[in-house]
Structure 1
Amino acid sequence: MSDKPVAVIGAGLAGLSAALTLQEAGREVVIYDGSDRVGGRVATDYIDGFTLDRGFQLINAKYPELLRLGVVDELDFIFAPRTIDVCVGEKRIALGDPRSNPFASLNPAAGTLIQKLGLVAYLLRTADAAKSVEEELSHLGKLYSRVLKPFLSGVFLTSPASVNAVIGKGLITSFISGKPGLPRKGVGALPAALAARIRKIELNHRIDSLSQFENQEVIVATDLTTAAQLLDIANVPKLAGSTTWYYEVPQELTGSARLLIDGEHRGPVVNSIVLSNLISTYAPDGKSLLASTTLDFASESEVRRHLALMWGAHTGGWSLIAKYDIPKSLPIFAIGNQSAASSQFSNNIYVAGDYRTAPSQNGALLSGRLAAQELLLDQGR
């Protein structure tokens, strides 16, 4: 074991989790990050009174790693509705937890009762790693095509046909049993709260080579592309990209704080939500903030046209506040791919990141903890 502090490269959720685990074990740690803030992809900007997360993302307050860290109580957390709206033509169907919305499960427009019972059966059986999520769910007919496919595309940021059934099912079950929501100050409040517990973080400190850490323990907790550069890995898995569009919309558009998806797939938008109806401080007084997500390239005219169909409104007067293109939003766990068995890359070098466990905030936090625990075990601490 080196007398030098452990170097954690990257101040995203994986790096923060790794550093906290090492600190708890009594090790000295320094986090290095080339950005001017912690959080990586989990970040928030404040523009003209609007709170803009860098990519629409909810936080599941019941993620096991968040419960272990006990951080949600520090976030002024606002829970989102456990119901979503599905637009079919000009109609809007509410679907969600039958315990809170029992009549929604009886609406045949989003799938028959038999198909909904088929979803329950799916949740009770073991997923097949040789199949995709779509292969395991497509037999559910309209329930899959109108509800599950557009919703899960927004969760995975890619088609369910591209996602390993085992990894996908893990995310699906976590959403069903979870309690999603957002901190009042935006998703960036989560990494900020974790970073406040860490004794030494050096921001604006870009690491281009690991040569400076010779004879020192290192955890590389960067994004996949940066990790490949630092570790000289030639081939990396494909990453899912997304674009988030933020519009100021009329307050009379809707009073709903539910996520809206298009059951008829009439355009590029996979989901849309008036965030200021969920958390009023996401927009200045008297204004409303709409967040919408697209996956493939789409022009603004295509997005506006689709939003007009989804919301049943004229969108020409909506002001575009910001557009976030995020080409490396999430890793894609393809068919047959599983979580990495070990975090160790080579002697004294360990790797963490959601691409090693699961494409979620919980996956990132878990990977950081596992990398730190393996390092401690190898070094006898």
Structure 2
Amino acid sequence: MKSVSDKKVAVIGAGLAGLSAAITLQDAGCEVDVYESSDRVGGRVATDLIDGYRLDRGFQLINSRYPELLRLDVVRELNFVEASRSVDVCLDEAIVTLGDPRENPFAALNSATGSIFTKLRFIGYLTSTSKQGRSVEDELSQYGDLYQRVLKPFLSGVFLTSPANVDAVSGKEIVRSFISGKPGLPAHGAGELPKALAQRVRSIHLNTRIDSLDGLKADAVIVAADLTTAAQLLDIPNVPKLASSTTWYHEVPIEMTLSNRLLIDGQSRGPVINSIAISNMVPSYAPIRKTLLSSTTIEFASESEVRRHLAIMWGVSTSEWALIAKYEIPKSLPIFGLGKQGIQSAKVSENLFVAGDYRTAPSQNGALLSGRLAAQELLLN
């Protein structure tokens, strides 16, 4: 039987799960080869540079307090810019700010987003234990305006589906992470996170598609590819549902807003889930004297419908805005539906393991965690 240091392991996929698995295995003394079908690392976490704009492939914040990021001690390498801990809520023709009362104590007193009593009761929800078989909406609908006007539109952007479709137990962990975390972005885009992790991996083969596990010269294999590829390689019959999303990037007048906060529509008057002048938060996302707006939809919508809704939310004409790019992402996140089980064994068969956020939690932390757990189980095999 080979010792750990003699094991040669193949990792399929250089997304966050694959990179985490590879780092864990290397640290244990294994020889690791990572195979990635595309020309870059990161999977869904990527950033493009177009006409001086930095465009993440899908709006995504990175929570610098995620346990796996703390474990990897990687945030210090990212030139990290923290996001505001408040959100703006569009109600009728007004915009109301709501956030951490320690930073903005008066915002909590605004009854338009729910009574102060309701907001205090919500703190109790965060410290309570959720029941199996219920949805996030089942537990939060009791909070009235706070849920309908703030939490539901905000969480729809987090889960990329209605909170009614998300299991209460797994969903609460995501909610807690946003309340207690410190989200933000690297100055050069979300894609800097996987790039930094990839620097720690000794052998990554890009543009190398693996269509069969037969013939791989390895003592063990971790399949950390996207869910569709993993299902094909491992002959998985039933796969979790995946949420889709579209991110719209517009160049908007620099004087339109100075806000660096996420804007949501508390009255759900159109297809836009959230919108943010992302370059107000991270100035390097746009050329000097330009403003880049990032907006997200989760259902099919034409650009005219998106512009109409953005005009309502921002209270300005959108007809002259330039569309910089549109990213349609059909497999944005796994949906952890009602009764979704917790973390299970990563072992598929002897010397074959699987990793991915669809096995742990629909988040960057979930992807990193799944990769580490798969590697640790392999090492114990």
TM-score (normalised: structure 1): 0.98
Taking the aligned partners of 1:303 and 1:334, their CA distance within structure 2 comes to 28
Deviation at residue 212 of structure 1 after TM alignment? 1.7
Deviation at residue 204 of structure 1 after TM alignment? 0.2
Find 1:21's aligned residue among 21, 24, 30. 24
Taking the aligned partners of 1:213 and 1:281, their CA distance within structure 2 comes to 42
| Residue type at the aligned position of 1:180 | P
Deviation at residue 215 of structure 1 after TM alignment? 6.3
Deviation at residue 230 of structure 1 after TM alignment? 0.5
**Where does residue 159 of structure 1 map in the other structure?**
162
Deviation at residue 234 of structure 1 after TM alignment? 1.9
Find 1:139's aligned residue among 116, 137, 142. 142
Which secondary structure does the structure 1 equivalent of 2:118 belong to? helix
Taking the aligned partners of 1:175 and 1:145, their CA distance within structure 2 comes to 18
Per-residue CA shift, 1:81-110, capped at 9, x if unaligned? Answer: 101000001110100000000011110001
Per-residue CA shift, 1:247-276, capped at 9, x if unaligned? Answer: 000001100100000000000000000011
Deviation at residue 310 of structure 1 after TM alignment? 0.3
Tell me if structure 1 keeps the 8 A contact 2:222–2:353. yes
| Residue type at the aligned position of 2:183 | P
Per-residue CA shift, 1:261-317, capped at 9, x if unaligned? Answer: 000000000000001101111001111100000001001110000000000010000
Tell me if structure 1 keeps the 8 A contact 2:17–2:224. yes
| Residue type at the aligned position of 2:297 | T
Taking the aligned partners of 2:348 and 2:206, their CA distance within structure 1 comes to 25
Taking the aligned partners of 1:203 and 1:303, their CA distance within structure 2 comes to 36
Per-residue CA shift, 1:189-240, capped at 9, x if unaligned? Answer: 0000000011000000001111122763000001111100010112211100
Which secondary structure does the structure 2 equivalent of 1:181 belong to? strand
Find 2:55's aligned residue among 52, 55, 58. 52
Q: Does 1:363 align with 2:376?
A: no
Which secondary structure does the structure 1 equivalent of 2:251 belong to? strand
Which secondary structure does the structure 2 equivalent of 1:153 belong to? helix
**Where does residue 170 of structure 1 map in the other structure?**
173
Report which stretch shifted further, 228-237 or 210-219: 210-219
Superposed counterparts of 1:37-76, under 5 Å: 37-76=40-79
**Where does residue 181 of structure 1 map in the other structure?**
184
**Where does residue 263 of structure 1 map in the other structure?**
266
Deviation at residue 115 of structure 1 after TM alignment? 1.4
**Where does residue 206 of structure 1 map in the other structure?**
209
Cα root mean square deviation, aligned: 1.0
Superposed counterparts of 1:192-341, under 5 Å: 192-213=195-216, 216-341=219-344
Which secondary structure does the structure 1 equivalent of 2:318 belong to? coil
Taking the aligned partners of 1:295 and 1:108, their CA distance within structure 2 comes to 29
| Residue type at the aligned position of 2:378 | L
| Residue type at the aligned position of 1:232 | D
Taking the aligned partners of 1:124 and 1:275, their CA distance within structure 2 comes to 32
Q: Does 1:373 align with 2:372?
A: no
**Where does residue 37 of structure 2 map in the other structure?**
34
Taking the aligned partners of 1:53 and 1:317, their CA distance within structure 2 comes to 23
| Residue type at the aligned position of 2:170 | I
Matched pairs, number: 378
Do the aligned partners of residues 215 and 253 (structure 1) sit closer, same or farther apart at CA in structure 2, a change above 3 Å counting? closer
**Where does residue 105 of structure 1 map in the other structure?**
108
Unmatched runs of 5 consecutive residues or more in structure 2: none
How high is the sequence identity, in percent, across the aligned residues? 69
Which secondary structure does the structure 1 equivalent of 2:222 belong to? strand
Q: Does 1:95 align with 2:72?
A: no
Per-residue CA shift, 1:115-174, capped at 9, x if unaligned? Answer: 112211111210112100000000100000000000000000000000000110000001
Which secondary structure does the structure 1 equivalent of 2:328 belong to? strand
Taking the aligned partners of 1:244 and 1:212, their CA distance within structure 2 comes to 39
Taking the aligned partners of 2:121 and 2:147, their CA distance within structure 1 comes to 11
Which secondary structure does the structure 2 equivalent of 1:253 belong to? coil
Which secondary structure does the structure 2 equivalent of 1:304 belong to? helix
Deviation at residue 4 of structure 1 after TM alignment? 5.6
TM-score (normalised: structure 2): 0.98
Taking the aligned partners of 1:234 and 1:167, their CA distance within structure 2 comes to 23
Poorly superposed stretches of 4+, deviation over 6 Å: none
Taking the aligned partners of 1:148 and 1:137, their CA distance within structure 2 comes to 8
